[in-house]
Amino acid sequence: MSLLREVIAAHALRFERPMRSTYDPAVGSRLLVAFVLVGLALQPALSFLARAIGLAREPWVGLAIAITLLTAVVLVLHRFVRVSGGAIGLHSWRAWTLRERIYIWTVVPLAAVMFGILFRDHFARLAAVHGWIGLLVLTVPTGLLWGMVQEFIYRGFLQTELVRRLGGLSGILVANLAYTFGPLHFSYFGLGTNAGARWDMFAAIFGIGLFFGVLYRRSGNLWIPAVLHGMWPLNMS
């Protein structure tokens, strides 16, 4: 019965350790600079470079960009911001609470099954293009890493500091607006085309991002939304 109560509490997002910023304001300012450097400068620059030299369609390029961004996140966090991963919710497995573990153990298998059913045509198209081996060893890992890196940048760097400055609700909303309408999704504005802006896509992105922002805020564990974001099938192309 006690375990059942813990399961219910976890899925109600009643975690034992909500996110609280314990660093000083100077660290917070460096987090915002880190967000600008990695999220607003390096990430678009890498995508532009890949297009400029004609490699954007190569299947390995997405993974190379994601690995480069992940390396940048780690280096900037430790060398420039000068804090441990725990400051932005990247706790070691030993530090996870019971409810955090219950949540990830139950949601990840459920999400894998649900996504496999709902996006089976998407996965079939990817397999036809890359082959099943290419899908499993390249496409899926690229999508997982790509989604996780976005959470590290937008929720870890940006939301963590905005919540400290603006409070929970405002910080989550502003960070999610930056995520929704930032460089990642410029293509949905339809600039230079007759299609116009894809407001349906913006609404979906905002809604999913808002959930991830609340999940991070309530759990204090950035790994949870990072893993779930990484599992999103449309990251995989």
Residue spans of the domains in the chain: they are 17-84+97-235
Report the C-alpha gap between 24 and 205 in whole angstroms: 32
pLDDT at 208 (0 to 100): 94
Q: Which pLDDT belongs to residue 79?
A: 97
pLDDT digits (tens, 9 = 90+) for 68-79: 999 999 999 999
pTM score: 0.94
Digit-coded pLDDT (tens) for 23-34: 999 999 999 999
Q: What is the per-residue pLDDT for 1?
A: 60
A 10 A CB-CB count for 206 gives 17
Say how far apart CA 98 and CA 105 lie, in whole Å.
Answer: 11
Residues of the chain with pLDDT under 50: none
> Residue 141 is encoded by which pair of tokens?
């890992």
CB 227 within 8 A of CB 90: no
pLDDT the model gives residue 196: 77
In a 10 Å sphere around its CB, with 0-12 CB exposed, 13-18 middle and 19+ buried, how is residue 43 labelled?
buried
